[in-house]
Chains A and B, each alone.
Chain A
């Protein structure tokens, strides 16, 4: 049937024929003729065109919002639209904030900038603060704060220059009238406001400010030193220890020294002189320690020389380079740089020796242990180390033992006289008193034994050589070292009934 020409159909028919021919040509791909070139060229053109096409279909710009830091912040991430995707609308962000109850501190400018950048540069913009609350301000009471530069300017002269004691020891010296601390006035608390518009309560900070004690006073809202001396700060208390400073030696020109505060000796303590301090002692040279006593710390820049008669008793810690032929006791730790030679050294804490150091001869008792480089000698000098025990209890036990021996001897003498027929009535009284004494001593001994062993975890670390013959005792468990060992740690085993030696 012939009718009006149908152009649409005709076009469709033609294009279909052309397509079929193209498809037929497909079989020729790979063959070296003209048809192949045409198909290949078309494929290449299409591949190039594909480079400009989006991999996925068009995506609109989007964002997410999260609330952080106890409702004090709202943050947003903005994700860009694809080429033909819809841009993010800043107003949508504001609406989304409202729907999540964010009503306070909205930062429209940040939102605008982030949205513009995201839309225009097609980049993700993350962690934008879109709303910011006001944090509460804590209430702070009035308190004193120590000046950082307190005591810094004070130096003590020595030959060839000056030495700052703050650098070489824990000493901080201050002068009379020097301001030590300033008052920080009370700060009132202020409520905060969350991004959701809610008031946030403030906290009342508890600050334990400095409390001015001995030799300090309050002046115009400041703590001021009332005398020259050593600045002491401990447990939120500030005070000044008076300092007695000697430019030279303790010798016949000074006599013995007994001072309630700290003593600084810019020379040495000569043999035969006594030094007693209610505070700490600092000695620039050697300390020939006939008798040295202090309630605080003892620092000796060179060494402590005892000459087999010297006694040093310190309430705090001791720091020195060496100790020789001396009896030394410290409530705190003892630090010795090079050597302890033939001395009795007792501490309620630990004994720490320098990297290149020796303990030769003598007896060390350290509640919490000993760390040294070399201990003992290859020859017959007896070296003992006792750990884990309280030396004061041990000393009392020895005293009790001696008294018990003495009482027993006296009782034996009384018994002997009674046996020989001595009828003196006083003998019975004496015997009764001695028996009472024995009873007391026994009771004390039992009590002391119970308090003797205090630290089963105490140990002895020898980084260098532990020589044969050294005797180590931890909580009264003994160990005699029979061979040369290097880099070892001696400690109680888990049952606490023998000493184990481990390599460090």
Chain B
């Protein structure tokens, strides 16, 4: 069965590129550029992997991660950022995010988590 990935990133070009490549590899990818809408989607539906950008307008990735894991403790979340030293990274990891992806892309790491 096709694995489902949810990507929440306000940078639509990055979002589109990730969708393009992961869909081409046979995954079912849903993308949201609005963090609140993405968070709602993650809570309402079931995904094999959720990739969340850290710095987004309105709500940051750490907050979104906390909210999702509060409602769905088994959700598998990867955090994505261009600034690995950002203090929000630790907050997201503490909340239960599995790993950090360095922006713009780390498709290899995403695939690793989908294989597990």
Interface residues of A (CB under 8 A from B): 271, 286, 288, 302-303, 305-307, 321-322, 324-325, 337-339, 341-342, 356-358, 360-361, 374, 376-381, 467
B99 to chain A, nearest CB (A): 13
Number of interface residues of B (CB under 8 A): 19
Are B111 and A286 neighbours in the complex by a CB distance under 8 Å? Answer: yes
Q: A271-B108, A341-B104, A376-B13 known; 16 other A-B pairs, CB under 8 Å?
A: A306-B108, A307-B106, A321-B21, A322-B107, A324-B105, A338-B24, A341-B21, A357-B20, A360-B13, A360-B104, A361-B105, A378-B11, A378-B13, A379-B13, A379-B14, A380-B82
Alpha-carbon distance between A188 and B8 when the two chains are bound, in angstroms: 76
- List of B residues within 8 angstroms of A356 by Cβ: 20
A358's partner among B17, B103, B108 (CB-CB below 8 A) is B17
- List of A residues within 8 angstroms of B21 by Cβ: 303, 321-322, 324, 338-339, 341
B104's partner among A307, A321, A342, A467 (CB-CB below 8 A) is A342
Looking at chain A's contact residues, the main secondary structure is strand
B3 to chain A, nearest CB (A): 15
Alpha-carbon distance between A31 and B16 when the two chains are bound, in angstroms: 95
Contacts known (A303-B25, A356-B20, A358-B16); A288 close to B11, Cβ less than 8 A: no
Are A321 and B108 neighbours in the complex by a CB distance under 8 Å? Answer: no
Are B11 and A339 neighbours in the complex by a CB distance under 8 Å? Answer: no
A354 to chain B, nearest CB (A): 9
Alpha-carbon distance between A379 and B15 when the two chains are bound, in angstroms: 12
Are A288 and B108 neighbours in the complex by a CB distance under 8 Å? Answer: yes
Alpha-carbon distance between A246 and B94 when the two chains are bound, in angstroms: 42
Contacts known (A325-B106, A341-B105, A360-B104); A377 close to B14, Cβ less than 8 A: yes
Are A338 and B20 neighbours in the complex by a CB distance under 8 Å? Answer: yes
- Name which residue of chain B comes closest to A357, CB basis: B20
Contacts known (A303-B21, A339-B20, A356-B20); A467 close to B13, Cβ less than 8 A: yes
Are B20 and A377 neighbours in the complex by a CB distance under 8 Å? Answer: no
Are B24 and A360 neighbours in the complex by a CB distance under 8 Å? Answer: no
Are B105 and A360 neighbours in the complex by a CB distance under 8 Å? Answer: yes
Question: CB within 8 Å of A: which of B1-38?
Answer: 11-14, 16-17, 20-21, 24-25
Alpha-carbon distance between A376 and B17 when the two chains are bound, in angstroms: 11
B112 to chain A, nearest CB (A): 8
Are A341 and B17 neighbours in the complex by a CB distance under 8 Å? Answer: yes
- List of A residues within 8 angstroms of B107 by Cβ: 303, 305, 322, 324-325, 341
The 0/1 profile, CB within 8 Å of A marked 1, for residues 47-64 of chain B is: 000000000000000000
B24's partner among A337, A341, A376, A381 (CB-CB below 8 A) is A337
Alpha-carbon distance between A341 and B106 when the two chains are bound, in angstroms: 9
- List of A residues within 8 angstroms of B111 by Cβ: 286, 305
Alpha-carbon distance between A121 and B35 when the two chains are bound, in angstroms: 89
Are A302 and B25 neighbours in the complex by a CB distance under 8 Å? Answer: yes
Q: Which 10 A-B pairs have the closest CB atoms?
A: A305-B108, A377-B13, A341-B105, A324-B107, A358-B17, A338-B24, A381-B104, A307-B108, A322-B21, A338-B21
- List of B residues within 8 angstroms of A324 by Cβ: 21, 105-108
Alpha-carbon distance between A337 and B20 when the two chains are bound, in angstroms: 10
B64 to chain A, nearest CB (A): 19
Alpha-carbon distance between A379 and B106 when the two chains are bound, in angstroms: 17
7 A–B pairs (Cβ distance < 8 Å), ordered by A? A286-B111, A324-B106, A338-B20, A341-B107, A358-B17, A360-B17, A379-B104
A321's partner among B11, B12, B24 (CB-CB below 8 A) is B24
B7 to chain A, nearest CB (A): 14
- List of A residues within 8 angstroms of B14 by Cβ: 360, 377, 379
Are A377 and B11 neighbours in the complex by a CB distance under 8 Å? Answer: yes
Alpha-carbon distance between A337 and B16 when the two chains are bound, in angstroms: 15
Alpha-carbon distance between A307 and B108 when the two chains are bound, in angstroms: 7
- List of A residues within 8 angstroms of B16 by Cβ: 358
Alpha-carbon distance between A305 and B106 when the two chains are bound, in angstroms: 9
Alpha-carbon distance between A87 and B16 when the two chains are bound, in angstroms: 83
Are B17 and A339 neighbours in the complex by a CB distance under 8 Å? Answer: yes
Alpha-carbon distance between A321 and B111 when the two chains are bound, in angstroms: 15
Alpha-carbon distance between A380 and B82 when the two chains are bound, in angstroms: 10
- List of A residues within 8 angstroms of B11 by Cβ: 377-379
A290 to chain B, nearest CB (A): 11
A494 to chain B, nearest CB (A): 34
Alpha-carbon distance between A289 and B42 when the two chains are bound, in angstroms: 33
B22 to chain A, nearest CB (A): 10
Contacts known (A377-B14, A379-B14); A325 close to B108, Cβ less than 8 A: yes
- List of B residues within 8 angstroms of A358 by Cβ: 13, 16-17, 20
Alpha-carbon distance between A338 and B103 when the two chains are bound, in angstroms: 18
- List of A residues within 8 angstroms of B109 by Cβ: 307
Question: CB within 8 Å of A: which of B91-108?
Answer: 103-108
- Name which residue of chain B comes closest to A337, CB basis: B24
Alpha-carbon distance between A341 and B18 when the two chains are bound, in angstroms: 10
- Name which residue of chain A comes closest to B25, CB basis: A302
B103 to chain A, nearest CB (A): 8
Alpha-carbon distance between A321 and B22 when the two chains are bound, in angstroms: 11
- List of A residues within 8 angstroms of B103 by Cβ: 381
Alpha-carbon distance between A211 and B72 when the two chains are bound, in angstroms: 68
